[in-house]
């Protein structure tokens, strides 16, 4: 079956073009094949000139498609920085700040609505820094209960709590000499805020249930979508910790304030999902 063969070929090579050769009287089959993705069809018997003209048109079409893809690729590369795709003046300013702050060890607080790319910015800072060959470790402060978050960050000793059957290293140890990204820092409990402040001040901590002090060299990059000044005023967040985390702040504009990026992002995700779905 020619149509099934074409489908199989397109599953293997999605960009392959197919010309159906059909016998007289089977035109409906050829039309069905075109609906399934065939480029065109030729009736038997056919003249070589007709086939040659069709192939020439197909080759020309493929050249145009490839040129179009190439142009889109060059455009995306032009406006791409460490997986951040933008031509917005506001985001270009953000990129310049990233390049500058990445060279230091200063803590960075990234502020922006959900979906504005806070983790992308954190990863860009890490990738542009001298720590780039070391781990980048990310953790969400909203995804875990307080006791679990404390264990995830600082690790625990065997027997520290019910279910602690073995010693476990935390994210701080995993990120040693690299960068630790704390997402949604504004949701952190008061108890963990105290422990985090000590790490920032002393560069050391103890695992949950342990007494041994562990030295670490970790750059902290944090993010929030909350108004931290209000959180401080209401007593939800420690002011001293805020200033420790906020040596440099980066504010990300929402997409509604950089609409010129929408076509670039749409093209990027269209291409990404097309590859993932072999389309």
The CATH number assigned to the domain holding 16 equals 3.40.50.2300
184-194: pLDDT as tens digits: 999 999 999 99
- Distant-in-sequence, close-in-space partners of 178: CB < 8 Å, separation ≥ 6: 126, 131, 134, 135, 136, 137, 218, 219
Same domain, 10 and 142: no
Residues 229, 95 within the same domain: yes
Average pLDDT, the chain: 87
Given a contact cutoff of 8 angstroms between Cβ atoms, the answer to whether 19 and 42 are in contact is: yes
Q: Is residue 207 part of a domain?
A: yes
Residues of the domain holding 190: 86-257
pLDDT for res 74: 56
Same domain, 70 and 208: no
End residue of a domain, out of 38, 55, 78: 78
**Do residue 141 and residue 36 come from a single domain?**
no
* 268 within some domain: no
Judgement on whether residues 96 and 70 belong to the same structural domain of the protein: no
Do 73 and 113 have their domain in common? Answer: no
pLDDT tens string 203-250: 999 999 988 999 999 999 999 999 999 999 999 999 999 999 999 999
The confidence score (pLDDT) of residue 5 equals 84
Q: Is residue 267 part of a domain?
A: no
pLDDT single digits (tens) 113-126: 999 999 999 999 99
Domain count, the chain: 2
Question: pLDDT tens digit string along 15-72?
Answer: 788 887 777 556 677 777 777 778 887 777 777 887 888 888 888 888 877 766 666 5
Question: Does 262 reside within a domain?
Answer: no
Are residues 177 and 46 located together in one domain of the fold?
no
């Amino acid at each position: 079956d020619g149509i099934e063969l074409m489908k199989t070929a397109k599953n293997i090579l999605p960009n392959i073009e197919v010309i159906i050769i059909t016998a007289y009287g089977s035109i409906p089959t050829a039309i069905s094949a075109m609906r399934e993705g065939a480029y065109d069809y030729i009736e038997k018997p056919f003249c070589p000139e007709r086939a040659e003209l069709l192939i020439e048109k197909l080759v020309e079409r493929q050249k145009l498609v490839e040129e179009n893809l190439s142009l889109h690729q060059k455009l995306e590369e032009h406006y791409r920085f460490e997986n951040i795709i933008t031509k917005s003046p506001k985001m270009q300013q953000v990129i310049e700040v990233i390049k500058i702050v990445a060279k230091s060890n200063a803590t960075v607080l990234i502020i922006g609505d959900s979906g504005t790319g806070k983790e992308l910015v954190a990863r860009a800072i890490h990738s542009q820094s001298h720590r780039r060959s070391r781990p980048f470790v990310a953790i969400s402060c909203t995804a875990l209960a307080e006791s679990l978050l404390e264990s995830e960050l600082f690790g625990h000793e065997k027997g520290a709590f019910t279910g602690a059957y073995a010693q476990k290293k935390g994210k701080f140890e995993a990120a040693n000499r690299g960068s630790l990204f704390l997402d949604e820092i504004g949701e952190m409990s008061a108890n963990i805020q105290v422990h985090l402040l000590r790490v920032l001040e002393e560069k050391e901590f103890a695992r949950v249930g342990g007494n041994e002090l562990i030295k670490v060299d970790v750059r902290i990059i944090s993010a929030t979508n909350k108004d931290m000044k209000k959180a401080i005023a209401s007593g939800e967040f420690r002011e001293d910790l805020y200033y420790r985390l906020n040596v440099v702040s980066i504010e990300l504009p929402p997409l509604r304030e950089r609409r010129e990026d929408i076509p670039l992002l749409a093209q990027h995700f269209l291409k990404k999902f097309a590859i993932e779905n072999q389309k």
